[in-house]
Amino acid sequence: MKLVIVGHIGLNEDRTPHGSAVSPGGAAYACARGAAVLDATQVGVVATVGDDLSLAPIRNLGVNLLGVRVARGRSPRFYIDQHPDGRRTFSVDFGIATEAAPDSFPQAYRLTRHVHLATAPPEQQLAWLVHLRRVLPRATISVDMFEHFAERDGALCRQVCRGADLIFMNEEEQRLLFGGHEHPPVPAVVKFGPEGAGYCQDGQLTRVRATREEPVDTTHAGEILAGVFLSLRAYGLPRQDCLAHAVRAAAAKVTQFGVNGDALTATLDRIRAEVTAAA
């Protein structure tokens, strides 16, 4: 595997000013959707799901599911309310995925170059980080932050960030976590919502602007961005090109509910064609 994504797979229930929808979700699923932009077979996923959930949506991505464990019980369910003023409220029932399960990391993934810890409670991310540093000492590890957890347990989130090689976070998460604390000496991809994203290293920020889209559902736009960025980097593309493609994909995602809309699919197809043609 060139890239392994650790996180949750379940169902999202999104409620927005444009309506509501229930769709396949969870940070690991959404990140895998973006990471499948090139060779999906080189992307592995690690997650625990219940026997009440169909794996057909993620199986259709073509990613490697050796690390997906099905257990008897209820799969994670995520409830997201997106308000007209841009605020989001969040609640979750993790079901059988309440705790990290490091023993579910397959032996076959032990040679992976990069592991991404998708959005999850920081105590789960930290348990994974400790385990992965022990069993994959040469792999690079990225982590994704989330406002809900940054506000609830900033100290633990900062501990996770300090142990990572790359951090993904938005402006509000950056403010909550590092407004009054020293930033770890590792690079970060900072997401600016409709304004795009930037890569920050050694105090220098390189930005990529996004095209303006009418947002319908912003949930998982950050995971799509992370998945595309990491997948393209794993294939050796220049960092700036990776970020530009990732921002394009995230902008397409927000125009429709879920992460399986036609707009995102068409954008990922175009990115794949462009990258393949330039190879």
Rg (CA), the chain: 17
Taking the C-alpha atoms of residue 262 and residue 47, their distance in angstroms, rounded to an integer, is 26
Taking the C-alpha atoms of residue 205 and residue 194, their distance in angstroms, rounded to an integer, is 17
User: How large a percentage of the chain has pLDDT more than 90?
Assistant: 95
Taking the C-alpha atoms of residue 178 and residue 162, their distance in angstroms, rounded to an integer, is 11
Neighbours of 257 (CB within 10 A): 20
Taking the C-alpha atoms of residue 16 and residue 221, their distance in angstroms, rounded to an integer, is 15
- Amino acid identity at 78: F
Higher local confidence (pLDDT), 84 or 25: 25
Output the pLDDT for position 214.
87
CA 204 centroid distance within chain? 23
**Where are the chain's structural domains?**
3-274
Tokens 């379940």 -> residue: 10
- Hey, which bits of the chain come out as E strands? 3-6, 10-16, 19-25, 43-50, 64-71, 77-82, 88-93, 114-117, 140-144, 166-170, 188-191, 197-201, 204-208
CB 178 within 8 A of CB 160: no
Q: What is the pTM of this model?
A: 0.97
Sign of CA dihedral 121, 57, 43, 47: positive
Task: Render pLDDT for 167-204 as a digit per residue (tens, 0 to 9).
Answer: 999 999 999 999 999 999 999 999 999 999 999 999 89
3-state SS string for 116-139: EECCCCHHHHHHHHHHHHHHCCCC
**Which pair of tokens denotes residue 218?**
């912003």
Beta bridge partners of 169: 190
| For range 125-135, the mean pLDDT | 97
Output the pLDDT for position 270.
98
Which class would CATH give 3-274?
A: alpha beta
What DSSP line would sit under 62-88, residue for residue?
T-EEEEEEEESSPPPEEEEEE-TTS-E
- Amino acid identity at 32: A
Q: Of how many residues is the chain composed?
A: 279
| For range 217-225, the mean pLDDT | 96
Task: Render pLDDT for 85-97 as a digit per residue (tens, 0 to 9).
Answer: 878 899 999 999 9
Taking the C-alpha atoms of residue 224 and residue 114, their distance in angstroms, rounded to an integer, is 17
Neighbours of 270 (CB within 10 A): 14
β 3-6/114-117 pair status: parallel
List, edge to edge, every strand of the sheet that includes 204-208. 64-71, 43-50, 3-6, 114-117, 140-144, 166-170, 188-191, 197-201, 204-208
Chain mean pLDDT for the chain: 96
